[in-house]
Structure 1
Amino acid sequence: MANLVEAYAKTRRFSEYLCETLQVEDYVVQPMPDASPTRWHLAHTTWFFETFVLAPSQSGYRPVDSAYQVLFNSYYNSVGEQFPRSRRGVLTRPSVAEVFAYRRAVDERMARLLREVDGDAAEEIGRVVELGLQHEQQHQELMLTDLKYLFSCNPLWPTYRPSEDDAPAATTDDSGWSTHGGGIVKVGHDGGTFAFDNERPRHDALIGAFELQDRLTTVGEFLQFVEDGGYRRPDLWLSLGWATRKEQGWTAPLYWVEREGAWSQFTLGGLKPLRLDEPVCHISFFEADAFARWMGSRLPTEAEWEHAAAGVIPGGRSGMPGRFHPIPASPVRGASRIRQLYGEVWQWTASPYTPYPGYRAPSGALGEYNGKFMCNQYVLRGSSCATPAGHSRSTYRNFFPPDARWQFSGMRLARDAQG
Structure 2
Amino acid sequence: MSKIRNPGLAEQGLVQIEWAEQHMPVVAKFIRERFEKEKPLNGVIVGAVLHVTKETAALVRTLVAGGARVFLAASNPLSTQDDVAAALASQEGIEVCAWRGMNEKEYFDCIRWVASQKPNIVIDDGGDLHATLHKEFPDVAGQVWGGTEETTTGVIRLRAMEKQGVLKYPAIAVNNARTKMMFDNRYGTGQSTIDGILRATNILFAGKKVVVAGYGWVGRGIAMRARGMGARVIVTEVDPIRALEALMDGFDVMPMIEAAKIGDIFITATGNKKVIRREHFEVMKDGAILANAGHFNVEIWIPDLEEMAVSKRTIRKYVTEYKLKDGRKLYLLAEGRLVNLVAAEGHPSEVMDMSFANQALSAEYLVKNRGKLEPRVYLVPDEIDQEVARLKLKAMGVEIDELIPEQVEYLQSWQLE
TM-score normalised over the length of structure 1: 0.26
Higher relative helix content? 2
Asked which structure has the greater RCO (Cα within 8 Å, sep 6+), the reply is 1
